[in-house]
Amino acid sequence: MQKEKLRVIRKQKGYTQQQIADIIATDVSNYSRKESGDVRIVKDEWDKIARFLDVTVEDIYEDEEAKVVINNDHPIFNGSASGGNINQQFNNIPGAIIENLQGYIALLKEENERLKEELKTPKGRR
């Protein structure tokens, strides 16, 4: 379900998708999918966006349709599947969604590693 209220207010205030993506610490393509309703916006993100846009959450919030929740610890997604066909087990999840989420997970893992390295660097050297 498209987030029409969010999109309209964002545009009225003159902000780009990139600016909102920066506020919620994601890339613009992922934010675009959030605004179009393909990816769920979590409560913390709604709060950050509302503060940034200087509106209440109620001004921009629209209910989420039921979304697929993927458990990243599941053997299918962590590479330790022992047999079975992914299409038989998850035949209701389009492959494009799984690929998209796996890509996003990989980005998050990379960012997590980068942040860990940043924490190891003494403040004077940053």
CATH number of the CATH domain containing 38: 1.10.260.40
Please report the pLDDT score of residue 85 as a whole number: 46
Question: CA-to-CA distance for 24 and 49, rounded, in angstroms?
Answer: 7
Q: Please count the structural domains in the chain.
A: 1
> Of 43 and 1, which is predicted with more confidence?
43
Burial of 40 (0-12, 13-18, 19+ CB in 10 A): middle
Q: Which two tokens mark 43?
A: 């409560």
> Of 99 and 104, which is predicted with more confidence?
104
- Amino acid identity for residue 114 in this structure: R
pTM: 0.52
Owning domain of residue 36: 4-59
> 71 in a domain, yes or no?
no
pLDDT of 21 over the 60 cut: yes
Question: CA-to-CA distance for 32 and 36, rounded, in angstroms?
Answer: 6
> 113 in a domain, yes or no?
no
Provide the 8-state DSSP code for 14: T
Tokens 């980068």 correspond to what residue?
A: 114
Percent of the chain scoring above 70 in pLDDT: 74
Give SS3 for 120. helix
pLDDT of 47 over the 90 cut: yes
> Of 35 and 80, which is predicted with more confidence?
35
Please report the pLDDT score of residue 101 as a whole number: 84
Q: Which two tokens mark 114?
A: 């980068």
Tokens 């545009």 correspond to what residue?
A: 11
- The four Cα atoms 5, 56, 61, 53 give a dihedral, to 10 degrees, of 50
